[in-house]
Structure 1
């Protein structure tokens, strides 16, 4: 019997087999494995009940570094201010102490990732859903072994999805693999710039919200798209500062501020942030949080950069709550104009 397994033709012995038989025939199986037959996700407890037929498409995916466990509040060093009393970030009804979310991709090794995530104080960390390596020669799929999952809430993403259909299929597999309904939704419209597709993102968001997902959508800094995503029931909107992984910082900070002023759900600035000053600026604009990956993973000292960004988030938030002085087109002296001492 011939089936299509993870996009490749595969011959199975005999004329009958169940999904469980297929899975048992493979080596190096990760614990967080999800399966779908003909794009229908099959819960693990039903694998031995689902028979395979000639020509069936089977997808076996795993959780890996890249882009639910309930996170406990992360302890802070005594010198760190942390959030003000009553100023917790709440997403989908869940209060979070940290306003810094972190990605898990691009690190030199899983141990470096773990140390950096711990230094960041992040409670929410992204992960990707990818086909399981069937050759045994791919990357170690057990990167989650490096994380103390009681401290983190996993945020699987649909990175790589080009259509709403792709994103929805990945979302269903992600929920099965991770046990969380939280989802960072990405539908990419242009592969060169990784610019989000507004139409595909909205289509997927509406469907996934109706299916019980807490959708955190990656979007551009277009106000109307952000408003439509909020109307669709998304738990947040996540406008880009600039292109993913570019480190260009803010291309259009005024549009981010406009989104912050208009939408009522939390605004998480995502993509393109490079430095603590970028992160502080996002928070000073009134953003509710930031999601950072490359700025930490690509730094010469990821742990040091994670600590710096953690402090920048707190400083920017405190500055926003304190109220920044208004900008002026002319100078205004700080000292009194009257009584100036002059030489005779």
Structure 2
């Protein structure tokens, strides 16, 4: 079933990252297996990798060959400002990404702590204010803090991307109370769980909670078989969304017979 984000209709609710794959071929296969229609690309990271040699499947993708591979996949590009630590740095990179990729979509990352890679809420909101005014469609990577998310909405963001856990940790949804509160309090914009997802079970759980999509990278790129794992996540996200739409039964503190027994037992 199609849905709409930033004025664009999509069939898939799976957003896939493109870093850390063993080879360009495996990345390409993983994108295809995932069914993802939006993939993230880190301009800062890919420029650092440089250009791989033609036909060198063993090299990690980078440079213009990498960008061409992404374009050929048919997926929409979502450039990100990974590696930025100030609003000024993120804004400068965002402007560069718009020129390179010819898109106003941007995953905004402004990291405040080197150990947890937790976003800096103050620099993030400041950057969002400026970029929204400049016509960017800002997808802010943030924590599950409700007030920070509200300030990002005040800045003009129409999408929020709260983390499930620290980037690359694979811990899943570590604060389900905070995430449920976000979903209950923020009902009129898409919420995409971004970061910390470790297994398809985590992705299905996020979708069952009513989130609109899932963005992940490491759980696929670090798998023994990335394309197969990408397919597993695709199925889990689809199943979780269908379960949410179908209506999941409420938990009970006691056993309840599925077939009610009435009247006196029949005795021979």
Superposed, which structure 2 residues align to 1:117-132 within 5 Å? 117-130=31-44, 132=47
**Greater relative contact order, per chain length (Cα 8 Å cut-off, separation 6+):** 2
> What's the offset of the Cα at 1:89?
2.5
CA distance in 2, matches of 1:341, 1:261: 46
CA distance in 2, matches of 1:94, 1:135: 32
Supply the RMSD in Å over aligned alpha carbons. Answer: 2.1
The answer to whether the 8 Å contact 2:13/2:36 transfers is yes
Q: Which position in structure 2 is the counterpart of 1:99?
A: 13
Q: Which position in structure 2 is the counterpart of 1:297?
A: 221
Question: Which structure features the higher share of helix residues?
Answer: 2
The structure-2 alpha-carbon separation of the partners of 1:340 and 1:198, relative to structure 1 and needing over 3 Å to count, comes to farther
Q: Which position in structure 1 is the counterpart of 2:255?
A: 331
Question: Which structure features the higher share of strand residues?
Answer: 1
Structure 2: which 5+ runs fail to align?
54-59
> What's the offset of the Cα at 1:336?
1.1
> What's the offset of the Cα at 1:147?
3.2
Which residue, out of 26, 40, 50, partners 1:112? Answer: 26
> What's the offset of the Cα at 1:150?
6.5
Q: Helix, strand or coil for the counterpart of 1:112? A: helix
TM norm structure 2: 0.90
CA distance in 1, matches of 2:250, 2:49: 59
CA distance in 2, matches of 1:324, 1:252: 20
> What's the offset of the Cα at 1:289?
0.3
TM norm structure 1: 0.71
Task: Output one character per residue of 1:249-288: Cα deviation in whole Å (capped at 9) or x when no partner.
Answer: 0111121121112222100000010111101000000000
Number of matched pairs:
258
Q: Helix, strand or coil for the counterpart of 1:191? A: coil
Which residue, out of 184, 192, 201, partners 2:115? Answer: 192
CA distance in 2, matches of 1:270, 1:236: 12
Query: 4+ residue runs of structure 1 moved beyond 6 angstroms?
Result: 134-139
Superposed, which structure 2 residues align to 1:61-72 within 5 Å? none
CA distance in 2, matches of 1:229, 1:107: 32
> What's the offset of the Cα at 1:135?
8.9
> What's the offset of the Cα at 1:91?
1.6
